[in-house]
Structure 1
Amino acid sequence: MLFRNIALLSAVALVGGTSCALAQGQTLTIATVNNADMIIMQRLSPKWEQATGNKLNWVVLEENVLRQRATTDIATKGGQFDIITIGSYETPIWGKQNWLVSLDDLGNDYDYGDLIPTVKSALSANGKLYSLPFYAESSFTFYRKDLFDQAGLKMPDKPTYDQISEYAAKLTDKSKEQYGFCQRGKPGWGENMAFIGPMVNAFGGRWFNEKWEPQLTTEPWKNAINYYVKNMREYGPPGATANGHNENRALFATGHCGMWVDATSAAGYIYNPKESQVADKTAFAPAPVEVTSNGSAWFWAWALAVPASSKKVDAAKSFLKWATSKDYITLVGNEVGWVSVPPGTRKSTYDNPEYQKAAPFAKIVYDSIVNADITKPTKDPVPYVGIQYVAIPEFQGIGTAVGQQIAAALAGQVTVDQALENAQRSTERTMKQAGYPK
């Protein structure tokens, strides 16, 4: 009871620091993704509701569905949502279109200077901050150290994709439903392409050359996708084209995966013994490289934003301030566990001895995020910004269309060459219609 009262007072104080006067008793509609950190946010949000008198109407969606609905609503100024969960891809594009409310006026107590600079920069446009980071991530390789020991394997400090394939063969035992190569297969620019994009980068590929000409039938793309399809079929779980981030996280946490290359933000879940059966059996290494290390690990921030079409901007800002604050991170640490706090957003999190003790992965995650360079994502020069995405409005459709072709190749419906030729043609059409090069 004492802690609840302290938390409530803290929430009141935090809300009170907002520069705008709050209307009481409003109901805000918030759209978010069904990832672990957001589920915790939903669970703790009654504290903000009690402190402000406002209510939240939660619309919790699968990742691809969230992106589609949020994009449609904001582009049409539909006003369906007061708060949306978006990422470092959408924020600067939508901010420049004046589709989002700027968020630079939350007061000194928000401590903007504590935000990790690369994350803050990725969520800004024209010198204004248009979304607040809820958590940020890079990618790395989760692996089962107990299975590696049993197989006599040692993960190198900087693994290559060739080595990952070699290890996957030795770790796969389909009779035990144990798979060495668990990767995203569900089509979508933020699903299978979030893994495949950095993998293609590592193989020396790029989405476009300097003239904005698509490069999807070049040798690096063919080498990378042939590698992906072969290893997913031989060493991956069945039905992989239905597996996105959440499905693979569940497979790994229940002991079915020897290796998984995915978001560093999942480490809090995998290392939490309340959630994961392999919390004490998991180790990590950097994302694999091959021809180059440029762009081999992605950069992403999930963030909260207020659409310009919202009629409840003040109350929405109040919630964003609460949910992305240092006090909220402390609240999660105290109530859920320090291993589960939202990672990658604030320097103070990584300076906290309690977090350092609970999160053995903290330093590698922090270094990956701080050093991510979305302006130099590939071996060869490119005209775009972004590691696992291309920061142009057209990429959302392009990435999903390409992801569908690669999923079709994984399912055996087309060959890899056919998939990439189809992807090349559709991308060329889209870019021509959009008027590239501009």
Structure 2
Amino acid sequence: MNKKWFILTIVLLVFLFTAVAFSDQTLTNVSGESIAFTDEELGTIAISPEREFEGITINITVNEGGPKGGIAGPLYEWRDVWEKLTGAKLNIVEIPYAAHYQKAMTDLMTGTGQFDGFFIGSDWMGELIAGDYIIPIDDYMKDPRFPKWDPDSLPPSIKNLYTWGDKWYGALNDSDGQILYYRKDILTNPEHKAKFKEKYGYEYNVPPKTWDELYDISEFFNGWDWNGDGEADSGIVMHLKVGAQGMYHYASLSAPFCILPGEKVDKYHNVYWFDPEDMTPLINGEGYIKALEFQLKLAKTGPDAQVAWSLGEAWDYFLRGKAIFTFSWGDVGSLVQDEARSKIKGKLGCSILPGTMEVFDRSQNTFVKLDAPNVWGNTTGGSWHGVISSLSKNPEVVYHLLAFHATNKISFWNACRGWTGVDPGVSFHFLPPHGTASLEDYIANGFNPDDAKEYLQGYYDNFFAPNIAPYLRIPGGNEYWVALDRHLSEAYTGQVNAREALNRTARDWEDVTNRIGREDQIKSYQEAIGYTP
């Protein structure tokens, strides 16, 4: 009898231990939506009755956007939940996009230490690493006290933006890359296809395979009422406002005009920004000039006002059904599902960006013809993610916040909602056979199933493309981008032609390189792009 009771007691203890160890906690965000987590997913700090971080306040900077703004929004959405779990307080410091980098760097360079962490654009990374301004997070990532997230879920193209060398500095948040969005319902209309063929002499592909083909389609649809709303509509829409990330359009579009593919990175192959041997800017080369001239021509098939539009204005134009094409970040695909803002749910097509049938070969100083389109995937954009200031007195608290947002369940929730600014790109966002998400997961989060399949395939093809355009993340990276942005705007607004805009950019880039130190920049650039002298 004693033996029987002993066995029952052991079984009961095992059951109770298992129930405790793997019990669920249901967390409810500001929107009133609930997600169940296991204790293992949340980590031991969050499930402990002792609030280890009680009384600690951390200050985290983020692009200005408010409770429903990109990148800032999720911090507000989950702040109450995280504070209850940890006992800590989160002070969200919103800074306008154009001023964010400078304000963060001033805090770090002066040693003020006002901020504990920053949600950075990945192009800041070179500066932050060179100055020892942020700390690696590898040890925290292995610690069961913190929320559990999977670094192996990131594709190599995105992982490269969160790491430096063999160390992790950022926890998963955003996965930026620009893909082509198009009106699949309109482009597959047989009547439109027949009229196009009659005018241009060929049948277009859906999606277009080259930028020239896309231009023809955009020109064909521009200036007439193809959506039946009684107003003239557009072929394409872009966000080209200076100081509002407009320069990223050019970077994505120009890649196949300029980058000669090859088996490895050398002086002439797989490079975009600078000559890896001496840091001579490549931005005013013939391929780049041709790309900008093409973009200026393409812009004429869109609304005139887009030259002064930021992201939201251009996206809304597409969402209202006023343009056949846009090419932008993942926000668009999920915003299409919001019927309070979108008229095109269920009508979406997505693909990797088109290529070109010729590319400028600097070794021959001429354009060379190709047998197949020169297509490049990209990680264009910020891939905005949190890092920990080396001046913070509470790095563990900051990491806990970042890891919480990196968990599969928070990340997936964020990625399904376009207003968050968190874009899909990791294995648990993708559908089989590429990932572990299910179509039912997306339908439950408001997606049209056909849109979801188009959207996720487009991003998978982009992030896992055989060729990925090089990313600029060296000291001075933000300054190089700002100079490009300023001079592109001069071309977009008709102040100068494409050649002059890019010549001005090249001169400014030389000034930045000389100020920082050319030899140091050569070393940083070679390391960043994987060039071996």
With normalisation by structure 1, the TM-score equals 0.84
2:515 aligned with 1:430:
no
The answer on whether the counterparts of 1:181 and 1:259 sit within 8 Å (CA) in structure 2 is yes
Flag the 1:156–1:144 CA change in 2: closer, same or farther, 3 A: closer
2:216 aligned with 1:166:
yes
2:104 aligned with 1:74:
no
Residue of structure 1 equivalent to 2:58? 28
Residue of structure 2 equivalent to 1:112? 150
Q: Give 1:185-224 correspondences, 5 Å limit.
A: 185-188=240-243, 191-204=245-258, 206-210=272-276, 211-224=278-291
Q: In structure 1, the residue corresponding to 2:403 is in which secondary structure?
A: helix
- For structure 2, the residue ranges without an aligned partner over 5 or more in a row are 1-24, 29-33, 197-203, 226-230, 260-271, 360-373, 431-435, 523-533
2:496 aligned with 1:411:
no
What residue identity is the alignment partner of 1:208? F
2:53 aligned with 1:14:
no
Residue of structure 2 equivalent to 1:362? 456
2:328 to 244, 247, 262: 262
Flag the 1:37–1:436 CA change in 2: closer, same or farther, 3 A: closer
Q: In structure 2, the residue corresponding to 1:110 is in which secondary structure?
A: coil
User: Displacement of 1:96 after TM fit?
Assistant: 4.5
2:173 aligned with 1:134:
yes
User: Displacement of 1:403 after TM fit?
Assistant: 1.6
Identify the range of structure 1 (393-402 vs 153-162) with the bigger mean alpha-carbon deviation: 153-162
Q: Give the Cα separation in 1 of the matches to 2:344 and 2:71.
A: 19
2:379 aligned with 1:298:
yes
The answer on whether the counterparts of 2:151 and 2:172 sit within 8 Å (CA) in structure 1 is no
Q: Give the Cα separation in 2 of the matches to 1:191 and 1:317.
A: 28
The answer on whether the counterparts of 1:11 and 1:51 sit within 8 Å (CA) in structure 2 is no
Q: Give the Cα separation in 2 of the matches to 1:229 and 1:56.
A: 44
Identify the range of structure 1 (258-267 vs 38-47) with the bigger mean alpha-carbon deviation: 38-47
What residue identity is the alignment partner of 2:460? Y
Flag the 1:348–1:49 CA change in 2: closer, same or farther, 3 A: same
> How many percent identity over aligned positions?
18
Residue of structure 1 equivalent to 2:163? 124
Q: Give the Cα separation in 2 of the matches to 1:272 and 1:410.
A: 31
Deviation track 1:313-361 (CA, whole Å, cap 9, x = no partner) reads 222111111111123235558xx77998944454233212134654222
Q: Give the Cα separation in 2 of the matches to 1:288 and 1:120.
A: 24
User: Displacement of 1:309 after TM fit?
Assistant: 1.8
2:390 aligned with 1:352:
no
Deviation track 1:216-246 (CA, whole Å, cap 9, x = no partner) reads 33221221111112221x2222332332333
Q: Give the Cα separation in 2 of the matches to 1:18 and 1:371.
A: 39
Flag the 1:266–1:38 CA change in 2: closer, same or farther, 3 A: farther
Flag the 1:209–1:307 CA change in 2: closer, same or farther, 3 A: same
What residue identity is the alignment partner of 1:264? G
- For structure 1, the residue ranges without an aligned partner over 5 or more in a row are 378-384
Q: Give 1:51-90 correspondences, 5 Å limit.
A: 51-90=85-124
Flag the 1:3–1:424 CA change in 2: closer, same or farther, 3 A: closer
2:306 aligned with 1:228:
no
Identify the range of structure 1 (245-254 vs 72-81) with the bigger mean alpha-carbon deviation: 72-81
Larger Rg: 2
User: Displacement of 1:268 after TM fit?
Assistant: 1.6
Q: In structure 2, the residue corresponding to 1:137 is in which secondary structure?
A: coil
Residue of structure 1 equivalent to 2:314? 248
Q: How many corresponding residue pairs?
A: 421
Flag the 1:327–1:264 CA change in 2: closer, same or farther, 3 A: closer
User: Displacement of 1:171 after TM fit?
Assistant: 1.9
Higher relative contact order (CA 8 A, sep 6+): 1
Q: Give the Cα separation in 2 of the matches to 1:123 and 1:337.
A: 22
Deviation track 1:237-268 (CA, whole Å, cap 9, x = no partner) reads 23323323333222222223221011134312
What residue identity is the alignment partner of 1:298? T
Q: Give the Cα separation in 2 of the matches to 1:318 and 1:324.
A: 10
1:319 to 382, 401, 419: 401
Residue of structure 2 equivalent to 1:392? 474
Q: In structure 2, the residue corresponding to 1:135 is in which secondary structure?
A: coil
The answer on whether the counterparts of 1:91 and 1:130 sit within 8 Å (CA) in structure 2 is no
The answer on whether the counterparts of 1:86 and 1:304 sit within 8 Å (CA) in structure 2 is yes
Q: Give the Cα separation in 2 of the matches to 1:318 and 1:243.
A: 37
The answer on whether the counterparts of 1:134 and 1:342 sit within 8 Å (CA) in structure 2 is yes
Q: Give the Cα separation in 1 of the matches to 2:247 and 2:412.
A: 33
The answer on whether the counterparts of 2:43 and 2:148 sit within 8 Å (CA) in structure 1 is no
User: Displacement of 1:62 after TM fit?
Assistant: 4.2
User: Displacement of 1:302 after TM fit?
Assistant: 1.9
Residue of structure 2 equivalent to 1:182? 237
Q: Give the Cα separation in 2 of the matches to 1:329 and 1:274.
A: 23
Q: In structure 1, the residue corresponding to 2:486 is in which secondary structure?
A: helix
Q: Give the Cα separation in 1 of the matches to 2:391 and 2:456.
A: 38
Flag the 1:27–1:221 CA change in 2: closer, same or farther, 3 A: same
Flag the 1:255–1:328 CA change in 2: closer, same or farther, 3 A: same
Residue of structure 2 equivalent to 1:382? none
The answer on whether the counterparts of 1:268 and 1:340 sit within 8 Å (CA) in structure 2 is no
What residue identity is the alignment partner of 1:213? T
What residue identity is the alignment partner of 1:185? L
